[in-house]
Amino acid sequence: MKILFIEPRFYFERLISIEDLIIKGHEVRFGVPVVITSLKSFCEQYDLVVTCIEHSAVSRRLISYCNYLGLNTVLIMDGTYEFSNSHSNPYLKKIKFKLLHSNKFTYVFSIDLMMKGYIESLGSKFVGYCPRHANPIKKMKNLTNDKILLTTANSAYFDEFEFCSLIRLLTKIIDYLEKSNIDYSFRIYDKRVINELNIEQNKNDINEGFQETLLKYSHVVSTPSTIINTAVEANIPTALLLYRDAPITQPAGWIISDGVELNRTFISFLSKSSDRMNFQKRFSLDSNIDACKTIDDLVCGNENESISEHINKDYLNLSIEYKVRLLNTFNWFKSVISKVKKK
């Protein structure tokens, strides 16, 4: 099977094992040429066309054209689906793009079991998988004392109202934990949130990957994020912060909103209520699912003979985006290396 991955290899290696696909005999290609004389001939070489950044200009045009050709297209989501991100993200609003809505895919790989019905209602086939970066470390330590991790998604708010609601809710929780002498730490990267909550550097646990950090905590409290799925899969009591009215698709056993009575909630939370633990586990995705085997099993679509070359125009400009993305990735590595040298 020949597979075209639209984005650079770096993006997909965080999600699936590319080496496994190669070992199984699949021919894989990453990115698109700057110049394509026949887009039809280029696309028809492949049995699957795969993207993990559905809103990029290259992905939007190429997936649309492959759908027109009748080729199988795949979206591998890099984390959880967030309704607010899809509908309120300033950049997505600017380009008038809604995640999962603006393009149709044959298959959608998602970590959210609660998304299955929704994805299928959009005309795609749901494939449950756990991104490699979200897999928990299986050997969890037995902690002798409770310690709560308060964390957020990298983009936890999309307007001033959401920011104020989030800060108000986190402040309420922090006050409760302080008065109750419950041990906790943060894992927050957003500088505005850090400054607003006056989080001290030694209280912000950001020096290791999330999987390694998770080993030090008995409970997790988070905004909507793939973190929720990782914590639930690790069988850790997990609470979801609710500070907006958008739908949620994540399996946390506890919900903390501005109106809840925290003492009652935390008694259940800290005692690891078996009913709630069973509920959140019921909707978690088994991280042992082999995404590459699933790709291996996908059936190729039929060729559509009624084809137009109209999308070839402007393709040079679109292909340049891929080259720029590669350059940005290279510059990111250079920046990290420079910082390490300075330290």
- Tell me what pLDDT residue 304 has: 38
C-alpha 65/C-alpha 309 separation (Å) is 9
- Tell me what pLDDT residue 201 has: 93
Global pTM value = 0.81
Out of 238, 262, 282, a domain closes at: 282
Phi-psi region of 138 (alpha: psi -120 to 50; beta: other; left: phi over 0): alpha
Give the number of other CB atoms < 10 A from CB of residue 71: 23
Could you tell me the two tokens for 151?
A: 């964390």
- Residue range(s) defining the domain that contains residue 159: 148-282
| Residues paired with residue 238 on neighbouring β-strands, in sequence order | 220
- Tell me what pLDDT residue 286 has: 63
> CA-based angle 216:221:226, to the nearest 5?
90
Residues of the chain by 3-state class (helix, strand, coil), percent to 5: 45, 15, 40
- Tell me what pLDDT residue 282 has: 83
Out of 282, 308, 331, a domain closes at: 282
- Tell me what pLDDT residue 144 has: 66
What is the chain's mean pLDDT, rounded?
Answer: 85
Out of 266, 282, 298, a domain closes at: 282
For residue 15, pLDDT beyond 90:
yes
Give a yes or no: residue 140 inside a domain: no
Please report, for the domain that includes residue 198, its CATH number.
3.40.50.2000
For residue 188, pLDDT beyond 90:
yes
> CA-based angle 134:140:146, to the nearest 5?
105
C-alpha 106/C-alpha 113 separation (Å) is 18
Share of the chain above pLDDT 70, in %: 81
Query: By the 8 A CB rule, do 111 and 131 touch?
Result: yes
- Tell me what pLDDT residue 165 has: 96
HEC-encoded secondary structure of 293-317: HHHHHCCCCCCCCCCCCHHHCCHHH
What confidence tens digit (pLDDT) does each residue in 217-233 have?
999 999 999 999 999 98
What confidence tens digit (pLDDT) does each residue in 293-325 have?
677 777 444 433 333 333 344 444 444 555 555
Residue 54 carries which DSSP code?
T
For residue 16, pLDDT beyond 60:
yes
For residue 290, pLDDT beyond 90:
no
What confidence tens digit (pLDDT) does each residue in 239-281 have?
999 999 988 888 899 999 998 999 999 999 999 999 999 988 8
Q: In this structure, are 153 and 274 located in the same domain?
A: yes
Closest CA to 111 of 247, 4, 237, 251: 251
